[in-house]
Amino acid sequence: MGTRHAPAAHERSTRRAQQPIEQDATEYGSPRTVGDVMTQTVVALGREADFKRIVQTMREWNVSALPVLEGDGRVIGVVSEADLLPKEEWHTQASSLHHSYAYSEKLAKAAGGTAADLMTAPAVTVHPEALVSEAARVMAEKRVKRLPVTDADGSLRGIISRSDVLSIFLRPDEEIAKEIQDSILDPMAETLGEVRVAVRDGVVTLYGDLGDSHFVPLVVRSVLSVEGVVNVHFAV
């Protein structure tokens, strides 16, 4: 699938990422990678995009942050609503900007007029081959709501948001049950004995005799590692 461009009504500073080859939605594959769940069509800005264009693009596409690109699509930063707020903050008479460590940075943001001036750089990104769990960890550590997805050259491939990460919990119950049975319970059958599995709304219930209680924590950890699992219960 080739590159799709933003509508002509947008300036050249607004681009969309190249769309990777689509995968069969029925083929889940666990564990899932960022490339499996990312949003493939992304609105992005060139470094020359002005302040008003940034605000207009955010509002039109209902997003709170935009990747900033240069050249043939390499991600050089991200401009977010938080990067834009200092300009309004500076306008208020009761400004909360103080002569502190953060003052010079906020002043620079307030004076900024283009995406290059306003963006946070370098951008925190993730590769398509990374696991969804890794993307979730980076989001939590960096306190960001979304991550640009880039290839080895730093070119934009898509974007992954918190809602994309949480989409793994929409996995069908029957798929979860089959993976638990095939990859956990069957290989441990001689150790655990006869154990059956049922899944409802992502909650796993194990039926039967687990045998040695020392194996229970191992089974729980293994089942919880299966994508889409919300919780684990025992019914013996």
> How far is CA 130 from each of CA 41, 61, 111, 127, 135, rounded to the nearest angstrom?
19, 27, 37, 5, 7
Report pLDDT digits (tens) over 176-191.
999 999 999 999 888 8
Report pLDDT digits (tens) over 77-135.
999 998 888 766 655 544 454 554 455 555 555 566 899 999 999 999 999 999 999 99
pTM for this predicted structure: 0.71
* Residue 235, beta-bridge partner list: 207
Q: Is 87 helix (H, G, I), strand (E, B) or coil?
A: helix
Report pLDDT digits (tens) over 62-78.
999 999 999 889 999 99
* Residue 206, beta-bridge partner list: 197, 234
pLDDT of 14 over the 80 cut = no
66/46 Cα distance (integer angstroms): 10
